[in-house]
Amino acid sequence: QLNQVSLLGLGAMGSVLASTLLGAGLSVTVWNRTPGRATALVAQGARAVDPVREAVAASPVVVACLFDHASVQETLGPVAEELRGRTLVNVTTTTPNESRALASWAAEHGIDYLDGAIMAVPAMIGSRDGQIFYSGSRAAYDALLPTFDLWAPSEFHGADAGRAALVDLAMLSGMYQMFAGFFHGAAMAASAGMSASEFAARQAPFLSAMTHELAALAKVVDDGDYTVPGQQSLEFSDLSHLVRASEEEGVDPAPVAAVQTLISREIAAGHGSEGFARIYAGLRAGAATA
Ligand code: NDP
């Protein structure tokens, strides 16, 4: 029975999720708000139905890959009774609290809920490159693992339905700030007549090498002693000159100024001789008072 899946949402991601299941011989029913997006999937063997109620009724497992939390509520709210007794896997990107709210809603309606967070672009689905985090119903995860592994390597993050989304967003924080930092550097390098591509050729190996520092920085954080010798101090890490250079070149220093704000805040609090990893403590203190 678990080889019958209904997939709601045939955008860039939903289509490739459905196509991968079809390729593995599963029986797939698809639904999309706007008609006409299922043609290629139907040619591959999918059954396209409307309204959404019919798609939910067709399979014991319903996968939602919609736009956001609001679109999931809008789509699934009216079919809660049809979902009763079925497994709902929601891989739509949501915040942790939105995932928890959906899990509570699902529990109220007798729906087995598993939240998924996709760490991949559509082209990575079906390969070993991406990853999908899940949290919520352990039973649903265990039963569906062979299916999930068709999409990407899977990782279960526990019964708290919000945890997969939390870890996913934490991972994306680093990625987006790295990209923003790259664009800022490229904008500065443009003043030196360097194209973004020329800059990327230099930046990529440098950033790759720097990622080797993460484990050592993490150890300082986990040990909780920012004074251990051998670290780059906050005073040494002061980026005022980088902010100034950016301004001198007429480039908005916003990304690097944000980092400098974190550094100067810790220096002002008397931690200047401690390691750069100290900014972690400042960030966590913000979380405690937020
Ligand atoms: P698309 O924009 O390509 O597709 C969005 C889908 O959501 C469409 O099927 C759209 O239907 C549907 N939709 C939007 N609003 C509503 C609504 N109010 N009611 C019903 N259906 C609605 O997005 P993706 O497929 O790329 O992404 C889907 C989810 O997957 C998102 O949450 C995204 O964050 C997540 N994701 C995507 C990744 C990617 O690289 N693409 C990577 C990781 C996660 P319609 O055709 O009618 O507009």
Q: Which atom, in ligand 1's list, is nearest to the CA of 34? A: 47
User: H helices then E strands: how many in the chain?
Assistant: 14, 8
Q: Which residue carries 């008609």 as its tokens?
A: 35
Q: Is the dihedral of CA 64, 70, 71, 77 positive or negative?
A: positive
Which has the higher per-residue pLDDT, 76 or 288?
Answer: 76
Q: How confident is the model at residue 288 (pLDDT cuts 50, 70, 90)?
A: low
pLDDT digits (tens, 9 = 90+) for 56-100: 999 999 999 999 999 999 999 999 999 999 999 999 999 999 999
| CA 83 / ligand 1 centre spacing (Å) | 21
Rounded to two decimals, the pTM is 0.91
State the pLDDT at residue 217: 95
Return the domain boundaries, the chain.
4-166, 191-289
Which has the higher per-residue pLDDT, 2 or 28?
Answer: 28
| CA 63 / ligand 1 centre spacing (Å) | 12
Q: Which atom, in ligand 1's list, is nearest to the CA of 8? A: 9
- Which residues approach ligand 1 with their CB closer than 6 A? 9-14, 32-34, 37, 65-68, 71, 74-75, 92-93, 118, 121-122
Q: Which of 142, 144, 94 is nearest to 118 (CA)?
A: 94
Supply 154's token pair: 């899977």
pLDDT > 90: what percent of the chain?
A: 96
State the pLDDT at residue 2: 73
- pLDDT at residue 184 is higher than 80: yes
Q: Which residue carries 């989304």 as its tokens?
A: 165
- pLDDT at residue 109 is higher than 80: yes
Q: What is the mean pLDDT of residues 32-38?
A: 96
Check if the interface score ipTM surpasses 0.85: yes
- Cite the DSSP H helix spans in 109-213: 138-151, 163-190, 196-210
Is the domain 191-289 a CATH 1.10.1040.10 member? yes
CA-closest residue to ligand 1 atom 38: 121
Residue count (the chain): 290
Is the domain 4-166 a CATH 3.40.50.720 member? yes
State the pLDDT at residue 274: 96
The pLDDT mean for the chain works out to: 96
- pLDDT at residue 290 is higher than 70: no
Beta pairing partners, 117: 133
State the pLDDT at residue 266: 95
Question: Pocket of ligand 1, candidates 37, 67, 131, 132: which has the most ligand atoms within 8 Å of its Cβ, to mutate?
Answer: 67
| ∠ CA 21-26-32, rounded to 5° | 60
Which has the higher per-residue pLDDT, 113 or 231?
Answer: 113
Question: Pocket of ligand 1, candidates 6, 37, 66: which has the most ligand atoms within 8 Å of its Cβ, to mutate?
Answer: 66
Query: Does an H or E element contain 135, and which?
Result: strand 131-136
**Alpha carbon 220 to its chain's center:** 26
